[in-house]
Amino acid sequence: MRWRGRRQSDNVVDRRNTRFGGQTRRRTMGGGAVVLVLLAGLFFGQDASDIAGALLSGAGQPASQPAPGPVSTRQQDEATQFVRVVLAETEDTWNNVFNKLGRQYQPPKLVLFNGMVRSACGTSSAQSGPFYCPGDYQVYIDLSFLQELRRMGAPGDFAFAYVIAHEVGHHVQNLVGVANQVRAQQARSSRAQANALSVRMELQADCLAGVWINHTESRNSILEAGDIEEGLAAAAAVGDDRIMQQAGRVAHREAFTHGSSAERVDWFKRGMRSGDIQSCNTFDA
C-alpha cells in the first residue's frame, strides 16, 4: 500500500504502557459504571473478541501455539503510523457515505494496547485478537497481532488494513443500529440461530471493509500489486472452517460464528467491487 505521507487520524489512543490499558479509569469508576460494564460483558462477552479470538481459543480448546515473538520498537512506530493512516482513510470514506445518506458519521477511537486491556466489554487479552466493543464505540488492537497474521499465512500491510477496516465495519453496524437489532434477535434465538446471526454480522463487516477499500482506492489509488491478494488471504485465514481445521477439529457449520473462508472472501469481494453498502445485505442473502 502507498500509505506513507497520508493524513494520520487523531483518534488513535495509545494505552500501550499503562497497566491493563486503563487502570486509573477503573479506580474512578462509580458503582453504576461497574454495573454497566458487567451488563456489557454479559451481552458482548462472547462476541467481543474477534478474528483471532476464535483461532487462539481454538473455539473452546486451550491455545497450543507459542506466543508470537516481540515486535521491535521501530516496527511498532511504523505500525502505529500505519494504523493512524488506515483509520483516517476509514474516517474519510464513512464520512462521505454517511453524508450521502444525510447522516453524520461519528468516528470510533482506536485503542492500542499491550497484553491486556479493559473496555466496556470487560477485560481482554491480546490473545483474543483485535476487537470492536459496541459498549464504548472503540476498536482495540494489540500490534503483536501483526505477527499473528503472518503466522496465519496472511502477511502484508493490506492484510492488516483489512482487519482494521473490518473492525470499523462493526462500528458502522453499531451506528446504524444493525448491531442492536441482531443482539435483540440473538437473545430470542437458539444457540445455532444466534451463531448464524453472528456469521451474517461478521460477513457484513467483511463486505463493509470491501466498500471501504473501493472508496479509498478511487480517492487516492493507494493499492499496489499484490495488495488485494493480501486482503483476500487475510479474509480466508480467519474463516471458521480454516480455524477449526487448524485446531484439529471437524468444521461444524452450526458452530461457525464468523463464516467460512470462502464466504468471507466472497463478501469482502462484493463490497470491494460494488463500493455500495446496499450490496452488503448479508441478512437477506
Shortest separation between residue 49's beta carbon and Zn ion, angstroms: 9
Shortest separation between residue 131's beta carbon and Zn ion, angstroms: 8
Shortest separation between residue 61's beta carbon and Zn ion, angstroms: 20
Shortest separation between residue 156's beta carbon and Zn ion, angstroms: 20
Considering beta carbons, is residue 6 or 199 the nearer one to Zn ion? 199
Give me the residues that bind Zn ion (CB under 5 A), please: 50, 202, 205
Q: Nearest residue to Zn ion, using CB?
A: 50
Find where cell 459498549 sits.
135
Considering beta carbons, is residue 202 or 266 the nearer one to Zn ion? 202
Considering beta carbons, is residue 85 or 205 the nearer one to Zn ion? 205
Shortest separation between residue 220's beta carbon and Zn ion, angstroms: 25
Considering beta carbons, is residue 6 or 113 the nearer one to Zn ion? 113
Find out whether 282 and 202 touch, Cβ atoms under 8 Å. Answer: no
CB atoms within 10 A of CB 195: 20
Considering beta carbons, is residue 89 or 202 the nearer one to Zn ion? 202
Residues 6+ apart with CB under 8 A from 228: 158, 272
Shortest separation between residue 150's beta carbon and Zn ion, angstroms: 20
Shortest separation between residue 87's beta carbon and Zn ion, angstroms: 16
Considering beta carbons, is residue 92 or 202 the nearer one to Zn ion? 202
Considering beta carbons, is residue 1 or 139 the nearer one to Zn ion? 139
269 φ, ψ (degrees, to nearest 5):
-65, -40
